[in-house]
Amino acid sequence: MTLVDKSLFTATPVFRARRRKLTVRVRVAACDGPAQEAMARDVSPQGMSAVARIAAPPEGEVVAVALPDGSSLWGVVRWAEGKAFGVEFDTGSHAAGTGPEAASLGG
pLDDT in tens, 58-83: 999 999 999 888 888 999 999 999 99
Per-residue model confidence (pLDDT) at position 28: 96
More confidently predicted of 10 and 64? 64
Instruction: Please state the domain extents for the chain.
Output: 20-98
Per-residue model confidence (pLDDT) at position 54: 93
Question: Which pTM value belongs to this model?
Answer: 0.70
Residue 42 has pLDDT above 60, yes or no: yes
Q: Coil, strand, or helix at residue 87?
A: strand
DSSP character for 16? P
Per-residue model confidence (pLDDT) at position 97: 41
**Domain 20-98 bears CATH identifier 3.30.310.10:** no
* 6 contact partners, CB below 8 Å, separation of at least 6: none
Per-residue model confidence (pLDDT) at position 9: 63
Residue 89 identity: F
